[in-house]
Amino acid sequence: MERFLHRIGSEDVAPAAGEFLPTFNPVTAQPWAEIARGTKEDVDRAVDAAAGAFAGWRKTSPSARAELLWRLADVIAQHAEELAQLESRDIGKVIREMRGQMVGLPRWYRYFSAQCHNLEGSVIPLDKTSILNYTRHDPYGVVGIIPPFNSPVLLTSFALAPALAAGNAAVIKPSEHASTAVLLFARLVDEAGFPPGLVNVITGLGPEAGDALVGHPEVRKVVFTGGLPTARKVAARAAESVKPTILELGGKSANIVFPDADLGSVTNGIMAGIFAAGGQTCIAGSRLLAHETIADRVVEAVSERAKTIVVGDPLLDETEVGPLAQPEIRDRVNDRVRAAVGVGAVATAGGDLGALGDRAGWFFPPTVLDRVDNDMPIARDELFGPVLSVIRFSDEEEALAIANDSPFGLAAGIWTHNLNRAHRMADELEAGVVWVNTYRSLSYASPFGGRKLSGYGRELGREGLLEFTQTKSIWVETSEEPMGDPFVLR
C-alpha cells in the first residue's frame, strides 16, 4: 500500500509519533494508501519551517512573487491529470468534474499572480497637514489552512493563492479523508521554485493535528472550510489566542423557479445544483422552491433526468455521480431520507439505498423528494448528498420568506426572465452568492463566502486578497516643530 508522509520544509517527513492512518477508496470501501498521523510535534516543525520561510518571503518583490505564482500555474497545468485522478480516487468525485477543476486551476494562480502588484495602501489627508499618513497592507505571517474533504486542492487554493500573493507562508492540514492530492500539490509548489518551507502540509486527524495548528501561537490567521460543528471548535480554539478566522461553512441553498423561466435550463440548473459532485458541495441547491403552477412539471422533468443519471466508478468518463466519500455520510443521508418520507415527503426519484443493487462502495441514488415542508429537518439540515427537497410557493413574497427561513446563508438561485423581479429578489435574499438563470458558477475574481451559519469572511477576488493582509497606518511628522504638551492626544 502506498504511504504518504508530511511535507515540511520541502521534504517528505515521517510523523514524529511513527503512526499512520488509512485512506479509503469510496468505490471499493477499501483502504488504498496510508497517510501520516500528525501530532503537535509535527505541527510545531511545520510552523517553524513556515515562519523561517516567511522572514524572507515578506521581503520578496511583488514581481518575484508574481513570477513564482505564474510558474506554479504552469506546473499545475502539466500535472492536472495526475491531480484529478488522485482526488477522484481518494474522495470518489467524478473525473469529469475533477479534470475540469484541475485544468482550470492554473488560472486561479495566474489571477493572484497579477494581484501581487495590487496591494497599494493609501495616503490619507489629515487635518494636521504637517503629518504624512499612509497605510500598508502587511501579510499576517504563517497562515493555517484547513480544507474539507470535497475538492481539497481547489478549496485549499481559495486561501493559498491569495495568501502567498500577499506575502504569507502556509501550513495546510487537509482532511484525513482527502490528503493525498494536497500532498502532491505541495510538491508542485516546490517544483515551481518557491522558497523551501513556504508551504507545508501536515496530515492527520482534525482534533489532533488540526487543533494543534489552530492553537499554535505562531499561526496568525486560520482559514477553515468545513462543517458547522467543527467550525465552532475551531473558532473557540482560535479565540484563545485572539486569532482571526475565515469560516467557510455549509448551506441549505434555495433554487427558486418562477413560471416564466425556461424549463430546459431550469432542469439543468436544478440538476447542477444538487447532483453535480453527488451533492457533496457547500453550494448545493438542495431546496428547490417551485411556483405552484409549474411545480409538477419541474418535478417530473428533474425526476426523469435523475433516474437516468449514470451512477458508478468516478474514474470512468461516462459516470455522472460517484459514491459518497464516507460511509457515515451515506448512512446519514439514508436515515434522513427515510425520516422525511416518514413525515410526508414523496420520493419521485431514488430514495431507496437498495435500488442501486449490492455495491461495495458508498453509493446513494440521486433522490428527489416532493411535498417537503420547509419546517421538516430535511429542509433545514445540510445533508451533503444527492437529495433534492421540493417546496412549493404561491408568490414572490412567500418564495423569499421560505428561502430566507434557513439557519444558513451561503447561496441562492433565481430562475426568471422578469428583470425587475430578479434584482428585487437578489437584493432581499440572505445569501453570500446569488445566481440568476444559472447555478454553481464560481470565479477566482469574484468574492465568495456565507452569511449566518454559513460563516464569515470572503475568499477570492480583491476582497479575498485583502483578507490575507492587515492594515498598518504610518504617521510621519514632517515639520521641524518640537513636540509639545505630552498630556494631550494629538
Residue nearer to ligand NAD on the CB measure, 108 or 258: 108
Residue nearer to ligand NAD on the CB measure, 192 or 249: 249
Active site residue 116: no
In Å, how far are 254, 332, 399 from 417, measured between CA atoms?
18, 38, 16
Residue nearer to ligand NAD on the CB measure, 24 or 57: 24
Amino acid at 444: Y
Residue nearer to ligand NAD on the CB measure, 136 or 380: 380
Specify the stretch interacting with ligand NAD by CB under 6 A; choose among 63-71, 202-210, 293-301, 420-428: 202-210
Residue nearer to ligand NAD on the CB measure, 156 or 267: 156
Query: Counting Cβ atoms within 10 Å, is residue 242 exposed (0-12), middle (13-18) or buried (19+)?
Result: exposed
**CA 327 remoteness from chain centre:** 21
Q: Is 488 helix (H, G, I), strand (E, B) or coil?
A: coil
Select the residue interacting with ligand NAD from 88, 113, 168, 175 (CB under 6 A): 175
Can you tell me the distance from the alpha carbon of 215 to that of 192, in angstroms, rounded to the nearest whole number? 30
Which three cell numbers, joined as nine digits, stand for 53?
Answer: 520561510
Shortest Å distance, C-beta 203 to ligand NAD: 9
90 touches ligand NAD (CB under 6 A): no
Can you tell me the distance from the alpha carbon of 331 to that of 353, in angstroms, rounded to the nearest whole number? 9
Query: What residues between 314 and 353 interact with ligand NAD by CB under 6 A?
Result: none
Select the residue interacting with ligand NAD from 230, 253, 255, 374 (CB under 6 A): 230
Catalytic residue among 248, 320, 430, 459: 248
Can you tell me the distance from the alpha carbon of 181 to that of 195, in angstroms, rounded to the nearest whole number? 21
Shortest Å distance, C-beta 155 to ligand NAD: 6
Which three cell numbers, joined as nine digits, stand for 192?
Answer: 515551481
Can you tell me the distance from the alpha carbon of 7 to that of 283, in angstroms, rounded to the nearest whole number? 31
Query: What residues between 362 and 421 interact with ligand NAD by CB under 6 A?
Result: 382, 384, 410
Query: Cell 458508498 maps to which residue?
Result: 362
Question: Is the distance from CB of 131 to CB of 467 less than 8 angstroms?
Answer: no
Residue nearer to ligand NAD on the CB measure, 252 or 291: 252
Select the residue interacting with ligand NAD from 106, 250, 323, 351 (CB under 6 A): 250
Specify the stretch interacting with ligand NAD by CB under 6 A; choose among 61-69, 170-178, 305-313, 346-354: 170-178
Shortest Å distance, C-beta 410 to ligand NAD: 6
Active site residue 248: yes
In Å, how far are 274, 284, 324, 378, 391 from 352, measured between CA atoms?
17, 21, 15, 16, 21
Query: What residues between 274 and 313 interact with ligand NAD by CB under 6 A?
Result: 282
Question: Is the distance from CB of 153 to CB of 88 less than 8 angstroms?
Answer: no
For β-strands 169-172 and 142-146, DSSP reports them as: parallel
Question: Is the distance from CB of 202 to CB of 170 less than 8 angstroms?
Answer: no
Catalytic residue among 282, 320, 430, 459: 282
Query: Cell 512573487 maps to which residue?
Result: 65
Binding mask 440-459 for ligand NAD (x = CB under 6 A): ----------x---------
Q: Which residues bind ligand NAD (CB under 6 A)?
A: 146, 148-150, 155, 173-176, 206-207, 210-211, 214, 225-227, 230, 233-234, 248-250, 282, 382, 384, 410, 450
So which residues are the catalytic ones? 248, 282
